Amino acid sequence: MTWHELLVVTLVVLVLLGAVPVLAGLFQYLLVPVHAWRNHLDRSAPYLPRVVVIVPAWNEGAVLAPSLERLMHLEYPPDRLRVLVVDDASTDDTPDVVLAKAAEHPGRIVHLRREQGGQGKAHTLNHGIAHALADDWMQALLIMDADVIYRPDSLRRMTRHLADDEVGAVTAFIREGSGRPGSVARFVGYEYVTAQAAARRAQNVMGAMACLAGGAQLHSRANLEAIGGRIDTSTLAEDTYSTFLTQLDGRRVVFEPAAVVLAEEPDSVRALWKQRVRWARGNVQITRTFSDVWFRRPWPLRRGGQRLGSLTFGFVWFSVYLLPVAMSAAAVGLVGLWFVAQTTALTAFQALWWVAVAAYVFVTVTTLLLDRETARRTWFQGLTFPGLLALVVMTAAWFPGLWEDRIPALFGLRMTATGRDVWQLVLYAWPLLAMLAARLVRTVEGVPVLRVLSVPLLYLIGFGPLLCAITLDAYVKQWRGAATTWDKTVKTGRVVG
């Protein structure tokens, strides 16, 4: 093999790497219908254990009252539900709100005050967990966020899975529930259907769950004690850490799609950036901490082994984890091929984007059908999720010559040879260019006179590339050793149940 041939093969391999996350997404979505047959419902049963709910709260006065009131009206026996609000040295009216609700519901709502706050969510949760474990009353523990609203039947739909003692933890479907969401929140709402309603159904089928939703973690007492009786404080992804520990100890983690929990999500790019950088850095920490798990056969544990080490789960995990790398590799591969083998470059470009278009259509249609309630609010965000400019790239792959010849001809124009070269390079480099351009959306949103342009730019560049740019930023911050702090997202109480 000559050096030229070796270079071409290497560049083609880089392009193929770009297809891996697309194939992983298709794989998960193909498993979604299987969930109708392979789920945990046949081993669940009506079960109403004594549940302690822990609500970590730091300056949550604006959102706590409705959340607590809805907990008090769940379709769950009142004498089997207690709520501990762990006040992390709040400086607003959080204590007053909690004490007022405790007076309305004596014995059912308890205010726990931490005088030394600011250590992060995990420390706050551990304060409440220690209190809950101090006596034998609790049989199950629910961890939630201060702003979320539980649908009336959600808790009992979750607890029924604990009737099977092989289940250690259950999570619910967190749905974006703002009354009047803006564009960013609508994109998040659509994304949550893909990342939860779809992906976690697929993970139920695979037998390995990536993460318990931070606002809806139900643990059996036995599981909580088995994983140490506390939440890990060394990572920014304490919910994922607990999820992995549960499964490594031989207990199942189950997603219950019918248990719906409404949450207020960020409605600005800058707020979203702050939240997702924390999540992505947490995933880096998890990936390193559990490095001995990946692509290993299920361990021979007492309950039949866990599936975190399976090839399929590792394939899905690293496809998401390395998505920005895969997008960049594909762009580098295509641009490189343009310089050394243009015919091969065109074939690779069309093949890559044909796969992307097929995945886009299948995933979008399935997502919108999976959650009709969210679809009514976010169908446009679903269609534009990859970005309007990405749709141009898709059509360029499916209809060669459309943008270079046919459309210019409609206006009596003709593209020059130089223009064709520049256009082709932009098409080939688009995955990388989109991630770089996504940072521009964040910058523009922070400039008052330009802020009005941020939303149109977001639709042009796409929410998917924005998430990749955020993930890449998180990886850089983690590599540089940036401070590991838990920085909460500000909530304003926009959830409508």
Q: What is the CATH number of the domain that holds 210?
A: 3.90.550.10
Give the span between the Cα atoms of 395 and 226, in whole angstroms: 53
pLDDT at 299 over 90: no
Domain-embedded: residue 461 = yes
Say if residue 299 is in the same domain as residue 375: no
Task: Report the pLDDT value the prediction gives residue 167, as an integer from 0 to 100.
Answer: 96
Query: Hey, is 109 helix, strand or coil?
Result: strand
Domain-embedded: residue 30 = no
Say if residue 159 is in the same domain as residue 257: yes
Q: Environment class of residue 351 by beta-carbon count within 10 Å: exposed (0-12), middle (13-18) or buried (19+)?
A: middle
Range of the domain at 395: 3-17+318-480
Task: Report the pLDDT value the prediction gives residue 488, as an integer from 0 to 100.
Answer: 57
In 43-108, beta strands by DSSP E: 51-57, 81-87
Domain-embedded: residue 279 = yes
Q: What is the mean pLDDT of residues 114-128?
A: 83
Give the span between the Cα atoms of 309 and 297, in whole angstroms: 6
Query: Hey, is 83 helix, strand or coil?
Result: strand
Say if residue 284 is in the same domain as residue 352: no
Number of other residues whose CB lies within 10 A of the CB of residue 255: 28
Task: Report the pLDDT value the prediction gives residue 88, as an integer from 0 to 100.
Answer: 87
Say if residue 171 is in the same domain as residue 203: yes
Last residue in a domain, options 251, 277, 311: 311
Say if residue 284 is in the same domain as residue 343: no
Domain-embedded: residue 28 = no
Say if residue 448 is in the same domain as residue 474: yes
Domain-embedded: residue 393 = yes
Domain-embedded: residue 33 = no
Q: Which residues contact 490 (CB under 8 A, 6 or more apart)?
A: 271
Domain total of the chain: 2
Query: Hey, is 51 helix, strand or coil?
Result: strand
Last residue in a domain, options 257, 286, 311: 311
Residue in this structure with the two tokens 């998890």, named with its chain if needed = 286
pLDDT tens per residue across span 352-383: 999 999 999 999 999 999 999 999 999 999 99
Q: Which alpha helices (H) appear in 210-341, and where do they start and end?
A: 221-226, 238-248, 269-289, 311-321, 323-340
Closest C-alpha among 295, 320, 319 to residue 307 = 295
**Mean pLDDT, all residues of the chain:** 91
pLDDT at 119 over 80: no
pLDDT at 492 over 70: no
Beta bridge partners of 144: 216
Say if residue 334 is in the same domain as residue 255: no
Say if residue 322 is in the same domain as residue 443: yes
Say if residue 305 is in the same domain as residue 329: no
304 — pLDDT class (breaks 50, 70, 90):
very low
Last residue in a domain, options 272, 287, 311: 311
**Total number of residues shown for the chain:** 497
306 — pLDDT class (breaks 50, 70, 90):
low
483 — pLDDT class (breaks 50, 70, 90):
low
Task: Please give the helix or strand (H or E) that residue 174 lies within, else none.
Answer: strand 167-176
Q: What is the mean pLDDT of residues 26-44?
A: 94
Give the span between the Cα atoms of 338 and 344, in whole angstroms: 8
Say if residue 323 is in the same domain as residue 273: no
Task: Report the pLDDT value the prediction gives residue 285, as an integer from 0 to 100.
Answer: 94
pLDDT at 187 over 90: yes
Say if residue 306 is in the same domain as residue 349: no
Task: Report the pLDDT value the prediction gives residue 303, as an integer from 0 to 100.
Answer: 41
Domain-embedded: residue 51 = yes
Q: Are 147 and 233 in contact (CB under 8 A)?
A: no
Burial pattern 76-90, b for ≥16 Cβ within 10 A else e, equals beeeebbbbbbbbbb
Domain-embedded: residue 186 = yes
Task: Report the pLDDT value the prediction gives residue 4, as an integer from 0 to 100.
Answer: 85
pLDDT at 42 over 60: yes
Q: What is the mean pLDDT of residues 270-274?
A: 94
Beginning with the edge strand found earlier in the chain, give each strand of the sheet holding 51-57 in spatial order: 109-113, 81-87, 51-57, 140-144, 216-220, 167-176, 252-263, 149-150
Say if residue 186 is in the same domain as residue 205: yes
301 — pLDDT class (breaks 50, 70, 90):
very low
Beta bridge partners of 110: 84
Q: Are 148 and 493 in contact (CB under 8 A)?
A: no
Give the span between the Cα atoms of 179 and 263, in whole angstroms: 10
Q: Which residues contact 78 (CB under 8 A, 6 or more apart)?
A: 72, 108
Least confident of 3-12, 25-34, 112-121, 300-309: 300-309
Q: What is the mean pLDDT of residues 304-326?
A: 87
